[in-house]
């Protein structure tokens, strides 16, 4: 029997047009978009399908948009009898995973991630924070570069994405200095990212209180399948584990590589990236040699994944 793991993408995977294919072909997708529109009081479907890109890329729009498309993809797989043994989501994607697992309902999830996006954007004035991706350096080297650059301000690893890629986050001047030092210390590449805030850094601590108050209103259930948490790469199986994990996630680094290794240790054979883009599939290939990942983001990729799944179960 094949054990499937679902991976839910985070911010950066959005693109204008996402979800339209599902919306046109599946009544279930239309129902979910209508529920999101109603919950948020905006036309999220139109924003996903037509943009403009600048509007879709605003954090408080991006987060509910990606969650909605990811949730639809998951529900369409579920309708065909494909469910995961375990799931994980990258940052925002952790909410998608928890909604998919029934730990919170979709309406709660889409509403709270919009607020999360607003709080994250408000925490640091635009232009003061920054993030950068460092490629080809060991984690310890990146951590040391950040320690040295921290004399200029806050900077620290934000995403341990793969053995090849670590994203750093903090105050702009310190991040820029860390990028320069990474290049001097042998990084294959170190580039500033086009993001609107220094996510997963200590600068996000003001978000925790506001988000915590919103999460306090949600009655979390035990997830139908384990969800590996970003903050510690451990499997969440009880409802009471969820709230503190999501609150701490905002200002803690995303332990993505460690989370994928945890899932591999749990015996996962196949991975499905459920939602827009192929970012997580690409990272996984660098973490688990030969590990297969399929993405499901539209009708074509859904049918391709289902065809491969059916061939495995009948072969």
State the catalytic residues: 91, 200
Evaluate the omega torsion of the peptide bond into residue 305 and state whether it is cis, within 30 degrees of 0. Answer: no
Burial class of residue 199 in the structure, from the number of CB atoms within 10 Å of its CB (0-12 exposed, 13-18 middle, 19+ buried): buried
> For residues 216 and 243, is the Cβ–Cβ distance under 8 A?
yes
Angle at 247 between CA 11 and CA 115, to 5 degrees: 55
The tally of CA atoms less than 13 A away on the side-chain side of residue 192 is 16
The dihedrals phi and psi of 12, each to the nearest 5 degrees, come to: 110, -20
> For residues 164 and 286, is the Cβ–Cβ distance under 8 A?
yes
Q: Alpha-carbon Rg of the chain, whole angstroms?
A: 19
Which H or E run includes 67? helix 59-79
How many CB atoms within 10 Å of residue 252?
20
In whole angstroms, give the CA distance from residue 97 to residue 162. 20
């Amino acid at each position: 029997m094949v054990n499937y793991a679902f991976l839910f993408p985070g911010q950066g995977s959005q693109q204008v047009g996402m979800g339209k294919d599902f919306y046109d072909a599946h009544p279930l997708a239309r129902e979910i978009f209508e529920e999101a529109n109603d919950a948020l009081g905006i036309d999220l479907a139109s924003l996903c399908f037509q943009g403009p890109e600048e509007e879709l890329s605003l954090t408080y729009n991006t987060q509910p948009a990606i969650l909605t498309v990811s949730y639809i993809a998951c529900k369409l797989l579920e309708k065909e009898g494909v469910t995961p043994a375990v799931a994980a989501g990258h940052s925002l994607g952790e909410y998608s995973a928890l909604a998919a697992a029934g730990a919170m309902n979709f309406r709660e999830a889409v509403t709270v991630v919009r607020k999360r996006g607003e709080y994250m954007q408000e925490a640091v004035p635009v232009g003061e924070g920054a993030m950068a991706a460092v490629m080809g350096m060991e984690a310890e080297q990146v951590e040391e570069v950040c320690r040295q650059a921290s004399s200029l301000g806050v900077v620290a690893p934000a995403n341990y994405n793969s053995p090849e890629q670590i994203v750093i986050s903090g105050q702009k001047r310190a991040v820029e200095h860390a990028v320069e030092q990474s290049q001097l210390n042998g990084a294959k590449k170190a580039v500033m990212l086009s993001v609107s805030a220094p996510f997963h850094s200590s600068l996000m601590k003001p978000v925790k209180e506001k988000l915590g108050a919103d999460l306090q209103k949600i009655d979390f259930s035990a997830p139908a399948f384990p969800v590996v948490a970003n903050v510690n790469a451990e499997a969440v199986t009880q409802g009471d584990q969820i709230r503190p994990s999501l609150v701490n996630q905002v200002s803690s680094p995303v332990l993505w590589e460690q989370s994928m290794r945890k899932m591999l240790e749990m015996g996962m054979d196949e991975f499905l990236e459920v939602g827009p883009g192929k970012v997580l599939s690409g990272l996984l290939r660098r973490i688990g040699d030969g590990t297969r990942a399929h993405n499901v983001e539209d009708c074509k990729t859904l049918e391709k994944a289902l065809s491969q799944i059916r061939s495995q179960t009948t072969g």
